[in-house]
Amino acid sequence: MQLSFLQPLFDRPGPWATVYFDPAQNDESGAQRRELSVREACRTLEEEGADATTTEAVRDALLRIGPAEDPAGRVVFAAGGEVVLSHRLSRPPQRQIACWAPLPRLTPLLELAGRDPVRLVAYIDRTGADFELRGAVGPRSAGQVEGERHPVHRTASADWSERHFRLKVENTWEHNAGEIAEALGAAYEESGADLVVLAGDPRERPAVREKLPEAVRRVTTETEHGGRAAGSASPALEEAVEQARQRHTRHRVEEALDRFRAGRVGTDRPTEAVEGIPALVEAAREHRIDTLLVRPDGPELDRETWVGARPDQVAARRSDARTLGESDPTTVRADDALLRAAAVTAADVLVLPAADEDGTDAADIPAGGLGALLRWTYDTTPA
């Protein structure tokens, strides 16, 4: 997950009000629960020291969140008397989170809005394709492409002229496959999709896949369900897209953990991965974090760290922060400090499943729940 969309949160000082809000159901009892939830969130902010104008801004924003527009809810970030950012969630929070802290509370956002890869679904027939993006904000059109329309149907006759016609048909299919592949590759690049699913004509799908750029082909899967014609949607297609999403997420986590295990401290070569708060804050100060690994149930996520005004002013101890040029450092959660540093240096962030979610050996995931793959190696061997 790239956190560049959070940049407005780092362009101004805190403290920050953060609320993860579930709007409940769209009925009378749901409306009552929403009102009670808004009151509870604002009361929590007031008890933790939030100023009246910021609390009121949060209240107004929460009251505008409804299940029709935001069925899974939203997270609201506010400071200095105004809401700075409101972001839609892809799954509702299991419990309401409201806090007032020096930095925005970001880790829940990774779980509630960041686990879903963006899927680019191509509905293909022999004359063209329709593209659809699926992600946290729901399905939306990503364009279409039309190829040559004639001839597209093949005859079974053995006559020479008919064989010649069949060849022209196959040439049309081949031409259209190239047109679709070119447009699909462009849509993939423009949309920032994570994976591609090909649905539709069984003859044209593999031809399109073969013509895709290698980088796109590596993240492409096919399904025999669904198609371009009206009424082709089916539960089987939805299941196939969901399975593709799960495979992609699983593969990405496995790949990152393999790199982490191979590169962590303790090998006989320069380390390419680090874990533990002291090593992570050092990497953050030097802008060396390429991918921050976060296990939301990790015991060290809320460990005390110290930060200054700049995102790279982060330290494991107060005395270290002072040596960085910050005379009055602030104590914050380790995960909030590291996520801020990762966001402003364009690092990726990957959420790891809890140890009991997929049977992963807890010893093989970053100690304390936080680790990083580095942008360049770092030799830990004493001189």
The whole-angstrom separation of Cα 68 and Cα 236 is 26
Please give the pLDDT value at position 137.
58
Please give the pLDDT value at position 84.
96
Question: Cβ(281)–Cβ(335) under 8 Å?
Answer: no
Please give the pLDDT value at position 339.
95
Please give the pLDDT value at position 16.
97
Please give the pLDDT value at position 248.
86
- For residue 199, the cross-strand partners are 123, 223
335: nearest Cα among 309, 364, 300: 300
In tens digits, what is the pLDDT along the chain, a chain of 383 residues?
A: 778 888 899 988 889 999 999 987 666 677 888 899 999 999 999 999 999 999 999 999 999 998 888 888 999 999 999 999 999 898 889 888 999 999 999 999 988 876 667 899 999 988 888 999 887 556 788 888 887 655 444 444 445 445 443 445 556 778 888 889 999 999 998 888 889 999 988 888 999 999 999 999 999 999 988 888 777 778 888 888 888 888 888 888 899 999 898 887 665 555 789 999 999 999 999 999 999 999 988 999 999 999 988 888 899 988 887 777 777 889 999 999 999 999 999 899 999 987 655 555 555 578 899 999 999 875 555 44
Please give the pLDDT value at position 154.
45
In this structure, what DSSP letter does residue 285 have? H
Please give the pLDDT value at position 361.
52
CB atoms within 10 A of CB 150: 9
The tokens describing 123, both together, are: 């509905």
**Residue 7 main-chain phi, psi, to 5 deg:** -50, -40
